[in-house]
Structure 1
Amino acid sequence: MPAKWVRTFAERRPGVDVELVDCAAAEAAALVRSGTVDAALGRPGVNAEPDLALIRLYDEVPVVVVPKGHVLTAADELTCADLADESCLLPLDDVLGWDARPGTQLSHRPETTADAVELVAAGLGVLVVPMSLARLHHRRDLTFRPLVDGPAAPVGLWWSEPTSELVDEFIGVLRGRKAGSSRGTREPVAKRSAKEKAAARRERLEAAGKVPPRKPKGAGEPGARRRRGGR
């Protein structure tokens, strides 16, 4: 998703570079506050940041990461009830903020999601994470299944007010503003009146030969004009 937004922004503002900075979810808001970045993708479902502006962009599907060949891979989708007999890993950088977790939570909490994935590969338990994190830490010996009744993982964009012109335009891209929007370009595109639109349409039809060209104003047949009071 970030790459898609950057491409759209680049089309509207050629010559302006956008640098994508990798960071942990827990660090995103702090980077915005410090001015290190202009805006940051974060997870508002876990970290409330009342001093920052926020757009909620989309919700991620939670998935269960398991070893290939695990009994849970027999189903295309899983429910919390399917995890009742499983040992579940909960890393310290968990982003779901899920209180009522199914299964048995292991007492050992790995420091990062990457560490938890390593433990899943070792057969020590299963892991519930947003789909993007399962893909980020993909391994050939692991797979995942959607957890249909698990908690959605919202993703949003944080920034500080007031914004610069460029940041505001980038936010407009994420909001879906069109390029001609008054908030999406430096110079708003003036709207044409109904009369101007009709005249432009007439010109197109004349150019295509679909209607006869109009006579210039004041033009008439030679000698057809009569003076008042004349003979």
Structure 2
Amino acid sequence: MSPLSLTLGYVPGATPAKWARTWAQRHPDVPLQLCAVAAADAPDAVREGTVDVALIRLPADTSELSVIPLYDETTVVVVPSEHLFSAADSVDAADLAAEPTLLPLDDVVDWPDAPGIPVEHRPETTEDAVELVAAGLGVLIVPQSLARLHHRKDLTYRPIAEAPSCPVALAVPAGPQSAMLEEFIGIVRGRKPGSSRGQAEPAPKRTAREKTLAKQAARAAAGKVGRKPGRTGRGRR
């Protein structure tokens, strides 16, 4: 990583484009490098310095990292377009109980008691699992962003009621951060240009008594300035 650039890792389905655009507008002289990383590898990429910061999926091993929760994704089921589920706006978890369910090795949904009948063969990736859904070998439970990422015309997806959400967070090395990294964290958190955690706190508002004393002091100072030198309030004897 160059000291004159910042590298952002992001897991499949994450969309860092809006933050990258904002960064480019505010810091055109400091490139933001985007680096796609597998969900399972994202925390290690930050720990090992392969990337400066990463969008990761939780839960994960976040030792030696500072984690900033960002948002929770809806969990959906991916099915063939002609599947019965396609006629509904959402699917109850109980409706999946009898469905053959594909569980890829890179699965990221933290749902130990997920409904369905697990298919014995576990595809290597979510992308491979999507191909098997299209072939009619089962359904697939994923975060909504992954369903969108691997969308096909012959497939659709529906939210699953009662399913746990899929959290996405920003991970940075634990400890003090560089100015550039603090600036990027500020962009992700929505801070406006020019604002900074390092700026001085605004002065506290004065009480009514403090304002009155300040006015009296100002009038007294003005009176002293208005007097002529060498004169006093008494005449000479």
TM-score normalised to structure 2 length: 0.75
Aligned-pair CA distance for 1:60 = 0.3
State the alpha-carbon separation in 1 of the partners of residues 100 and 189 from structure 2. 40
- Structure 1 residue 37 corresponds to structure 2 residue 34: no
Task: Summarize the Cα distance change of 1:109–1:165 in structure 2 as closer, same or farther, 3 Å threshold.
Answer: same
The aligned amino acid for 2:48 is S
Opposite residue 35 of structure 2, the aligned amino acid is V
**2:145 matched residue in structure 1:** 132
CA contact (8 A) 2:102 2:139 kept: yes
Q: Retained in 2: the 8 A contact 1:87–1:125?
A: yes
Q: Name 1:113's counterpart in structure 2.
A: 126
Match of 2:42 in 1: 28
SS at match of 2:161: coil
**Pairing partner for 1:61 from 64, 70, 74:** 74
TM-score (norm 1): 0.77
Alignment of structure 1 residues 83-94 onto 2, 5 Å: 83-94=96-107
Q: Are the aligned partners of 1:181 and 1:189 in contact in 2 as well (CA < 8 Å)?
A: no
Residue of structure 2 in register with 1:224 after alignment? none
Check conservation: 1:57, 1:156, Cα contact below 8 A: yes
- Separation in 2 of the partners of 1:106 and 1:90? 7
**d(CA) in 2 for partners of 1:23, 1:16:** 22
Give the SS at the match of 1:66.
strand
Structure-1 residue corresponding to 2:61: 48
User: Residues 62 and 128 of structure 1 are in contact (CA less than 8 Å); yes or no, is this contact kept in structure 2?
Assistant: yes
Encode CA deviations 1:28-51: one digit per residue, 9 max, x unaligned. Answer: 111111111100110122x13121
Aligned to 2:187: 173
In the alignment, the residues of structure 1 paired with residue 93 and residue 159 of structure 2 have an alpha-carbon distance, to the nearest angstrom, of: 11
How far apart in 2 are the matches of 1:162 and 1:191? 24
Write out aligned runs for 1:151-162 (5 A).
151-160=164-173, 161-162=175-176
Asked if the contact 1:88–1:126 (Cα under 8 Å) also holds between the matched residues in 2, the reply is: yes
Unaligned runs of 5+ in 2: 1-14, 206-237
**Matches of 1:44 and 1:190, distance apart in 2:** 34
**Unaligned ranges ≥5, structure 1:** 195-231
Please list the CA deviations of residues 143-202 of structure 1 after superposition, one character each: whole Å capped at 9, or x if unmatched.
111112111000001111332110111011112222232337xxx5996999xxxxxxxx
Name the amino acid aligned to 2:77.
V
1:13-68 deviations in Å (ceiling 9; x for gaps)? 232110111111111111111111100110122x1312101001000001110011
Computed over aligned residues only, the root mean square deviation of the Cα atoms, in angstroms, reads 2.2
Q: Percent identity?
A: 56
151-160 vs 3-12, which deviates more? 3-12
